[in-house]
Structure 1
Amino acid sequence: MTNLKETVFISHPSISFVGVSFVLCLLAVAPRPSFFPLVLLLSSLQLYGRIIAHRNNAFVNFRNLWLALTSAVTLSHIGPALTALSTPSTSIIFLTLCAATASLIVLTAIFIDIKACAKMKSQWSQITLFPALWASVWVVIARISPVGRLATWSPVRGLPPDIWITRWFGVPAIDWLTAACSVVITEVVGDWFIGSAPARLNGDDADSIIIPDLPGVPAPKAKSPTPRSYYVLALFGLLLTVTIPHYVSSTLPLPPYSKGTTPLTVACVLPPFQRLKNGPPLLDDFIQESRRLNQAKVLLWPEGAVRFDSFDAKAAAIERVRKDVAFTNHFVGMSFEEVLPSNGSKTERRNGFVLVDKHGPVMEYYKRHLVPVAESFSLSPSTDPPTIFTLPLTMPKGFTRSEWGNETRPIPVTASICLDFTDPYAFDSLPSKPALILAPARTWDISVGLSMFEQAKARAAEIDSMVLWCDGGEGGVSGIVGRGVNEMMKAGPGSWTRTIGIQYPFDDRKTIFMDGGESVGLMIMWAFQGVIWAGGVLSTWRKARRVNEEAGPLLG
């Protein structure tokens, strides 16, 4: 065991930690970051950072570690990235730049934590600084990045995204838990390396053992400092307190048919390729497939299902959908691309969504976040936030008037499109909580589809709603998530239906996260950090005052 300690921590720390970090980064920072490998990666980075931070060749070691992390992130994402842009070389260059930036941000956060902790006297402040710093960094990055939360190292696997604290604080709470777990492991491994050593007093306490000018007169006995392991154990207890409730009382989906629920059958309309004769599905194909799925009350088409070259063409298509599908009290979510009127030589297009009922369009939404390069050069983003439409659900078959109650039951719905779900503030402008979010999407790779599906889960958990995710891309993943439902219905083409239970009467009060966003969690984290720091300062002041008071008579 001693040889292992010497090899890892003393003889060859660079080889050991850089190699381990590279492997862990491959596992942790994949298109869907994983909780446990990420915790181990952060622990490895913190341990190695503490070893090399004060050495003469610290810059060289940090540079090598940065290159290793950049290489690992690039390799873990290279599969889906090759087909993301027009040429593979452009995709690799763009991916490498993103990986290098993210890796530099991670190492900078760790370096700041090491330097700041060296100047802190409070052990509580030292072990809780990194979690707050880690969560804050990714909040800022998600806010300024064109791909939102996809640019962060926030785990989406291993720790359930619908854990109760996400409805309060969102993904930053998950980031805090991740970093806090890594701190616990870092402290345990560090204690294992150092071993049991006699407790030492800090500089102030050491000077007070013998009072100057009074040789042989012992000072009042200083109170032994609380062992650092006690604080680590307390942090571990806090982590258990936060996570245990989820496993003790898991959120279960509501039954579709009960006194307290409203059954709603939804469908994702994806015409199978074997039925198509002329390439990709056209408007007629989607209308025909929608009519076949007439058992569903809400039918959603994938992102960019049809294209229109003029407003007149769009209006004509909406009228066809109204007459052929929606006239029987169905609600059809059409997703499309359309040409915008332009006075210049460049033709502008935008990606939109319209919900059509038997009277015509009742809700519209246009995509606000475009895929960098792939969409940002050819499409125009919208600045209008989503709105809520109260869907009047009529009594389905099998119910009596006394069981159903009113003539219709209100179901508040809204919409958002694909990459918009990477924005944690996508629904902050809504006046109330929706029961269902219609989410057309189109991804180009199965790993990207899975990653976006996880983003939909996170947004559903934050606002305590459900998402109908309909991905029409190659290998796209479609399903229903939120409020205890976590069903991946299909990967690839092929329509499907699902009956879900909506709370009745529906509680449309906004969650804490919807009201305050990620800033609420950050304020609480840093307020907690501030209280700890203030407590440490107060404790130091009281200790100094007590020593002065007890030493006063001796000096007199």
Structure 2
Amino acid sequence: MIASDDSFVSTHANSLLRVATVGLAFLALSPSPSFIPLVLLLGTLALRARVIGIKSLSSSWVSQYIAQLFPLSLGAAASHATPSISALSSPINSLALLSCVCLGSAAAALLPVYLHVKLRSDSNIWMRLTLLPALWATTWVVVSRVSPLGRLGSWSPLTGTEPYDPIRAYLGFPGLDWIVGAWAVVGAELAELAWQEERCTQTPENEHPLVPISREVDQSLESLARLRGPLKKGLFALTALLLAATLPSFTSPLPLAPHSSNTSPLAVACILPPPATKESELDRYLSETKRHAARAKILLWPEGAVCFGNESERTHALAQVGVVTKQYGVWIGATFDEIAPEVDGPIGGPGSRRVGMALIGPDGQLDMEYYKRHLVPLTEPFANVGSKVNPPVYDLPLPPPPHVKAPEWANPPNFTRPIPLTALICLDASKEVPTLRAPPALILAPARTWHPAAGYAMFQLARARAIELDAKVLWCDGGHGAVGGVVGDGEREMQVGEGTWVKTVGIPWPSRHSFTAHAAVGDIGAIFILWLFLTGVGSSVEYLAKTSIDLTWVVVVLHEALRWIQDSVGQLRLPRPVRPDERSSLLDDNDN
């Protein structure tokens, strides 16, 4: 009976693994991919490519690739079916788009899996272990730049990443993708070692191989057996590195206290009026804004709140918004859909439209204007055009709160604190934030999603961008089952559903004057760092250690360089400021 069971598993191993792949893909490839299921899925794919796919004599690379492709696409499509069915005007078009996205993502995901099996070398253990993570991170940087959806629909983790969130400020999405690949390699290598040990303990009489084994495969098993010791050491080092990378999360910042000596309290609001009445859209939003203007300093409308048919309508509407800002002394982020000027719409042709946001200040004037850069495929591109202009950065002059005297708040003559703001609109958050003039403290991000699952995915993307920039994001979603809130810089405020909400946050004061590492180098720079320092340097160190080259001169050079730096810093160190009690003592000495 046992032999029969073993025979069934051996005979149907590929079919069983395809079913497992579908299940893992369903769990891992939701609209908001989760970290642990992604690791399990990628580890399973890597193991299957190593042990079954590549070593099977009855299957070719192409057939194995296709055999993996469709179960993955099926699982991903099943996970996305509910939110995607209403993405477009027609369910058929929605399913067609979903199929293309899932098939393309699965095809891209399998490339690094099979490529790493082809390129990995047993002569360098560290290269063997870090090749897949580097290829995996590189693949999704390329996909996010080519795909109009950016990171939406990719295999990059959006949830369950809390232990590694601090990494985002340094390496962004590529850093998280590398970590997913590294944990998958750890699991796949351990499973492959266990499979090898089981194969070695089987006798020819009772052996039921998972796949046909040839003399060449037997030789590879013997080679792997010789590498077992170094491989276990390499796995230990990689696991230690991955665990050490979680240490910064143990000191993750709490939300800043709004009222303190090193923060500026700023009340922000997302304006979501009640269901439609006889009022026009503009009047609805103005009425709801007035209700909450006394509670917030910045009031943001969701994406495309009002629609303008011509320049005259736009001018009249923004003038009405300016009246409200003057009356209450607030800033209103009014969002709109308007006809694009001819200079901006050559691709869409005459009558093309664009989505934008105008920030109107307390003086009734336009302080900042931004237009959506990335459009939803098969819907917006037919009618709208995307902007080519990078997001601006506006220094909002925040006046003192009622309970604080002006001289205690800021320096004359204005007695205001500059709060650097920028903007993103909905799908813009799925793409890497372009180079900004200055690091922002707050990102205004209006959105309009069609399903709670899609809204949550976009909210998590906005959260990731906030961590990358070390800023806060005000995410205002006006779609069905909207997911909104304030995230980033310690904030974790979220609201689901309709209705206006207000939140007071603490903005760091003085404002930060330096970009995060990821904001400075971007995704391409992060990939370069991952390849050079984690894969390249680690492999080089292992090679030098194996060649028994005398490296004492390197230690001497590093020691001398460190001493030179310490001496230079000591010479440049500024004198310590004299305390008031010391100043009086010095004056007394001079009198004597």
TM over 0.5: yes
Using the TM superposition, give the Cα deviation of residue 536 of structure 1 relative to its aligned residue in structure 2, in angstroms: 5.2
Gaps of 5+ in 1: 207-222, 544-556
Structure 1 residues 357 and 402: CA distance shift in structure 2, 3 A: closer
Using the TM superposition, give the Cα deviation of residue 410 of structure 1 relative to its aligned residue in structure 2, in angstroms: 1.1
Partner of 2:283: 284
Match of 2:132 among 107, 130, 133: 130
Deviations 1:350-385 (A, max 9, x none): 101100013311100000100001101110111011
Using the TM superposition, give the Cα deviation of residue 285 of structure 1 relative to its aligned residue in structure 2, in angstroms: 1.0
Task: Name the SS for the 2:355 alignment partner.
Answer: strand
Using the TM superposition, give the Cα deviation of residue 310 of structure 1 relative to its aligned residue in structure 2, in angstroms: 1.1
Contact kept, 8 Å, 1:122 with 1:533, in 2: the verdict is: yes
Tell me the amino acid that sits aligned with residue 25 of structure 2. Answer: C
List, as ranges, runs of 4+ consecutive aligned residues in structure 1 with deviation greater than 6 Å. 2-5
Structure 2 residue 416 is matched with structure 1 residue 408: yes
Deviations 1:432-485 (A, max 9, x none): 111111111000111110000001001000010000010011111110000010
Tell me the amino acid that sits aligned with residue 529 of structure 2. Answer: I
Matches within 5 A, 1:59-78: 59-78=62-81
Tell me the amino acid that sits aligned with residue 466 of structure 2. Answer: A
Contact kept, 8 Å, 2:122 with 2:227, in 1: the verdict is: no
Structure 2 residue 469 is matched with structure 1 residue 463: yes
Tell me the amino acid that sits aligned with residue 469 of structure 1. Answer: W
Query: So what's the TM-score if we normalise by structure 2?
Result: 0.82
Using the TM superposition, give the Cα deviation of residue 404 of structure 1 relative to its aligned residue in structure 2, in angstroms: 2.0
CA distance in 2, matches of 1:180, 1:8: 33
Partner of 2:319: 319
CA distance in 1, matches of 2:126, 2:63: 31
Match of 1:395 among 389, 400, 404: 400
Partner of 1:28: 28
CA distance in 1, matches of 2:182, 2:466: 25
CA distance in 2, matches of 1:9, 1:475: 45
Contact kept, 8 Å, 1:299 with 1:332, in 2: the verdict is: yes
Using the TM superposition, give the Cα deviation of residue 526 of structure 1 relative to its aligned residue in structure 2, in angstroms: 1.1
Using the TM superposition, give the Cα deviation of residue 160 of structure 1 relative to its aligned residue in structure 2, in angstroms: 1.9
CA distance in 2, matches of 1:3, 1:165: 49
Partner of 1:245: 248
Contact kept, 8 Å, 1:252 with 1:484, in 2: the verdict is: yes
Match of 1:152 among 151, 154, 160: 154
Task: Name the SS for the 1:151 alignment partner.
Answer: coil
CA distance in 1, matches of 2:32, 2:423: 24
Partner of 1:357: 361
Task: Name the SS for the 2:123 alignment partner.
Answer: coil
Query: So what's the TM-score if we normalise by structure 1?
Result: 0.87
Gaps of 5+ in 2: 202-218, 550-592
Task: Name the SS for the 2:378 alignment partner.
Answer: coil
CA distance in 1, matches of 2:227, 2:421: 60
Structure 1 residues 333 and 8: CA distance shift in structure 2, 3 A: farther
Task: Name the SS for the 1:499 alignment partner.
Answer: strand
Using the TM superposition, give the Cα deviation of residue 90 of structure 1 relative to its aligned residue in structure 2, in angstroms: 1.4
Using the TM superposition, give the Cα deviation of residue 232 of structure 1 relative to its aligned residue in structure 2, in angstroms: 0.5
CA distance in 2, matches of 1:504, 1:266: 17
CA distance in 1, matches of 2:380, 2:342: 18
Contact kept, 8 Å, 1:142 with 1:151, in 2: the verdict is: no
Structure 1 residues 3 and 516: CA distance shift in structure 2, 3 A: farther
Structure 1 residues 120 and 194: CA distance shift in structure 2, 3 A: closer
Match of 2:459 among 436, 453, 457: 453
Q: CA RMSD in A?
A: 2.6
Q: Which moved more, 1:343-352 or 1:441-450?
A: 343-352
Match of 1:506 among 511, 530, 552: 511
Task: Name the SS for the 2:519 alignment partner.
Answer: helix
Structure 1 residues 358 and 121: CA distance shift in structure 2, 3 A: same
Task: Name the SS for the 2:380 alignment partner.
Answer: coil
CA distance in 2, matches of 1:540, 1:12: 43
CA distance in 2, matches of 1:5, 1:364: 68
Using the TM superposition, give the Cα deviation of residue 15 of structure 1 relative to its aligned residue in structure 2, in angstroms: 2.3
Task: Name the SS for the 2:493 alignment partner.
Answer: strand
Structure 1 residues 453 and 8: CA distance shift in structure 2, 3 A: farther
- How many residues align? The count is 514
Structure 2 residue 144 is matched with structure 1 residue 142: yes
Task: Name the SS for the 1:163 alignment partner.
Answer: helix
Partner of 1:53: 54
Contact kept, 8 Å, 1:412 with 1:435, in 2: the verdict is: yes
CA distance in 2, matches of 1:25, 1:435: 37
Match of 1:421 among 429, 432, 450: 429
Structure 1 residues 136 and 5: CA distance shift in structure 2, 3 A: farther
CA distance in 2, matches of 1:7, 1:313: 75
Using the TM superposition, give the Cα deviation of residue 328 of structure 1 relative to its aligned residue in structure 2, in angstroms: 3.0
CA distance in 1, matches of 2:471, 2:289: 25
Match of 2:117 among 110, 114, 119: 114
Tell me the amino acid that sits aligned with residue 292 of structure 2. Answer: L
Deviations 1:40-75 (A, max 9, x none): 111111111112213222343432221111111111
Structure 2 residue 476 is matched with structure 1 residue 474: no
Using the TM superposition, give the Cα deviation of residue 512 of structure 1 relative to its aligned residue in structure 2, in angstroms: 1.1
Partner of 1:439: 445
Using the TM superposition, give the Cα deviation of residue 325 of structure 1 relative to its aligned residue in structure 2, in angstroms: 3.2
Tell me the amino acid that sits aligned with residue 291 of structure 1. Answer: K
Matches within 5 A, 1:294-313: 294=293, 295-313=295-313
Tell me the amino acid that sits aligned with residue 17 of structure 1. Answer: L
Structure 1 residues 8 and 135: CA distance shift in structure 2, 3 A: farther
Tell me the amino acid that sits aligned with residue 425 of structure 2. Answer: I
Contact kept, 8 Å, 2:267 with 2:502, in 1: the verdict is: yes
Using the TM superposition, give the Cα deviation of residue 341 of structure 1 relative to its aligned residue in structure 2, in angstroms: 4.2
Tell me the amino acid that sits aligned with residue 108 of structure 1. Answer: L
Structure 1 residues 66 and 131: CA distance shift in structure 2, 3 A: same
Task: Name the SS for the 1:519 alignment partner.
Answer: helix
CA distance in 2, matches of 1:523, 1:371: 30
Using the TM superposition, give the Cα deviation of residue 531 of structure 1 relative to its aligned residue in structure 2, in angstroms: 2.7
